[in-house]
């Protein structure tokens, strides 16, 4: 373990310092804001490495539909990293549509005011999500087959690794929050959400493809997960749940009927719960990526001042980078646990007993 850590330190120190020196020598300079945003934002290609002026990336499918040109399917490499147009489209580099695919004229300039095409492209986030879903299906189908073949034997391999986590979700999240009589029908969703968030959190820490994508740090992904929790909660309610919202017991009558303050607050809470779910996961994972990238950016910033400063800061930055990576491993589990726990609590609150 010590040898592995030593190799990792030397490799990280050398790699980051060389990149810092390379950035320091560029005339355009280093922009830390752009550097960090490029790594956490979604994109139409999977960038791997930049060597000088050469960009090494994995092109992804572009799928567009518009009334004028119909369906267009091609690879993102046709855009040459967003600096050229293809089939009347280009990736906007500035303005309100920055980062989006917009109509372009024959000179390769954005057509201002033109209607944007319907974009069904397979972006980096979508690709990473498909990879994680494929891994989850492969893992759990393999484990399920082993249980079916040997139902009365002790778990081995992946079984022994996953069984304690599944039991933890059942005994420490689902049953206490929902109850022994009702928890089973919610277990498939709770397990799916827990392992989906956990796997994508862990994959986001890996710096090379198919890792490195900011799936759970994308508000669209977390919003869909929260909406799923909201829909399941809403369609699992009973009359006592809605009675508690519009006619809460123990509240003065003048706060419920002439001035419907409490019903309004309670009803607002129905919609703020999924909002809090999505923002909490999104903000925590995005903040973790920003902190890690900020330590790397320090190398480039000091490297612009002098290459010796870049080498000197590399030691501190790499140490903090490794520390934050270890911390993110813990956060990956915590955020999966928190999202699953709150979802289970909402499911349990949906079936209230009469007072």
Q: Is 208 a residue whose pLDDT tops 50?
A: yes
Peptide bond before residue 317 is cis, with ω within 30 degrees of 0: no
Whether 44 maps to a domain, the answer reads no
Q: Kindly indicate the confidence band of residue 53, based on its pLDDT and cuts at 50, 70 and 90.
A: low
- 200, 212 contact by CB (below 8 A): no
Q: Kindly indicate the confidence band of residue 13, based on its pLDDT and cuts at 50, 70 and 90.
A: very low
- 252, 262 contact by CB (below 8 A): no
Whether 7 maps to a domain, the answer reads no
Domain boundary among 90, 122, 154: 122
Q: State whether 128 and 117 are in the same domain.
A: no
Domain boundary among 122, 141, 171: 122
Q: What is the pLDDT of residue 24?
A: 42
Q: Kindly indicate the confidence band of residue 7, based on its pLDDT and cuts at 50, 70 and 90.
A: very low
Q: State whether 297 and 178 are in the same domain.
A: yes
Q: What is the pLDDT of residue 354?
A: 54
Q: Tokens 């490499």 appear where?
A: 77
Whether 39 maps to a domain, the answer reads no
Q: State whether 236 and 105 are in the same domain.
A: no
Q: What is the pLDDT of residue 352?
A: 65
Q: State whether 114 and 139 are in the same domain.
A: no
Q: Give dist(CA 147, CA 159) in Å, integer.
A: 8
Q: Kindly indicate the confidence band of residue 21, based on its pLDDT and cuts at 50, 70 and 90.
A: very low
Whether 25 maps to a domain, the answer reads no
Q: Kindly indicate the confidence band of residue 153, based on its pLDDT and cuts at 50, 70 and 90.
A: confident
Q: State whether 207 and 276 are in the same domain.
A: yes
Q: Kindly indicate the confidence band of residue 15, based on its pLDDT and cuts at 50, 70 and 90.
A: very low
Q: State whether 142 and 289 are in the same domain.
A: yes
Tens of pLDDT, residue by residue over 282-332, are 998 888 888 888 888 888 888 877 777 778 888 888 888 888 888 888 999
Q: Kindly indicate the confidence band of residue 238, based on its pLDDT and cuts at 50, 70 and 90.
A: confident
Domain ranges, residue 79: 50-122
* Spatial CA neighbour of 77 closest among 103, 102, 46: 46
The tally of domains found in the chain comes to 2
Q: Give dist(CA 40, CA 2) in Å, integer.
A: 31
Q: What is the pLDDT of residue 269?
A: 81
- pTM score, two decimals? 0.83
Q: Strand pairing of 70-75 and 61-66?
A: antiparallel
CA dihedral 27, 33, 38, 39 (to 10 degrees): 110
Whether 17 maps to a domain, the answer reads no
Q: What is the pLDDT of residue 227?
A: 94
Average confidence score pLDDT of the chain: 81
Q: State whether 267 and 332 are in the same domain.
A: yes
Tens of pLDDT, residue by residue over 124-139, are 999 999 999 999 999 9
214 contacts: CB under 8 Å, gap ≥ 6: 39, 40, 41, 42, 125, 204, 285, 286, 289
Q: Give dist(CA 12, CA 311) in Å, integer.
A: 11
Q: What is the pLDDT of residue 22?
A: 43
Q: State whether 89 and 152 are in the same domain.
A: no
Q: State whether 111 and 191 are in the same domain.
A: no
pLDDT, mean of residues 263-271: 80
Q: Is 178 a residue whose pLDDT tops 60?
A: yes
Tens of pLDDT, residue by residue over 75-119, are 888 887 666 888 888 888 877 788 888 888 877 788 877 888 898
Domain boundary among 122, 154, 180: 122
Q: What is the pLDDT of residue 335?
A: 93
Q: What is the pLDDT of residue 4?
A: 42
Q: Tokens 């392992």 appear where?
A: 195
Q: State whether 306 and 266 are in the same domain.
A: yes
- 310, 21 contact by CB (below 8 A): yes
Whether 34 maps to a domain, the answer reads no
Q: Assign residue 169 a region: left if phi > 0, alpha if psi is -120 to 50, beta otherwise?
A: alpha
Q: What is the pLDDT of residue 193?
A: 95
Whether 277 maps to a domain, the answer reads yes
Q: Is 159 a residue whose pLDDT tops 70?
A: yes
Between 217 and 8, residue with greater pLDDT: 217
Q: What are phi and psi of 72, to 5 degrees?
A: -130, 125
Q: State whether 144 and 291 are in the same domain.
A: yes
Q: What is the pLDDT of residue 51?
A: 67
């Amino acid at each position: 373990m010590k040898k592995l850590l030593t190799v990792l330190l030397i490799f990280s120190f050398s790699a980051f310092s060389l990149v810092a020196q390379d950035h320091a020598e560029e005339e355009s300079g280093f922009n830390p804001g752009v550097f960090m945003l490029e790594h956490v934002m979604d994109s139409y290609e999977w960038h791997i490495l930049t060597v000088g002026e050469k960009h090494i990336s994995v092109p992804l499918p572009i799928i567009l539909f518009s009334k004028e040109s119909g369906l267009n399917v091609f690879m993102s490499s046709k855009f040459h990293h967003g600096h050229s147009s293809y089939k009347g489209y280009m990736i906007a580099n500035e303005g309100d549509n920055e980062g989006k695919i917009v109509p372009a004229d024959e000179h390769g300039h954005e057509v201002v005011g033109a209607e944007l095409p319907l974009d069904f492209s397979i972006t980096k986030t979508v690709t990473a999500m498909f990879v994680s879903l494929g891994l989850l299906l492969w893992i759990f189908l393999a484990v399920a087959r082993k249980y079916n073949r040997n139902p009365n034997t002790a778990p081995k391999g992946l079984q022994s690794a996953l069984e304690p986590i599944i039991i933890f979700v059942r005994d420490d999240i689902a049953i206490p929050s929902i109850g022994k009589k009702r928890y089973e029908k919610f277990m498939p969703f709770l397990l799916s959400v827990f392992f989906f968030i956990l796997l994508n959190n862990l994959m986001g820490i890996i710096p090379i493809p198919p890792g490195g994508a900011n799936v759970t740090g994308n508000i669209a992904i977390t919003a869909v997960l929260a909406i799923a929790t909201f829909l399941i909660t809403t369609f699992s309610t009973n009359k006592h749940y809605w009675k508690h919202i519009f006619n809460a017991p123990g509240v003065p009558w003048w706060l419920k009927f002439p001035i419907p303050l409490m019903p309004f607050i309670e009803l607002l809470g129905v919609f703020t719960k999924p909002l809090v779910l999505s923002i909490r996961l999104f903000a925590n994972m995005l903040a973790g990526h920003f902190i890690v990238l900020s330590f790397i950016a320090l190398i480039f910033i000091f490297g612009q001042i002098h290459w010796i400063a870049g080498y000197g800061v590399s030691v501190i930055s790499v140490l903090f980078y490794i520390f934050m990576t270890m911390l993110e491993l813990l956060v990956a589990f915590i955020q999966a646990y928190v999202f699953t726990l709150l979802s289970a609590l909402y499911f349990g609150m949906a079936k209230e007993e009469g007072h």
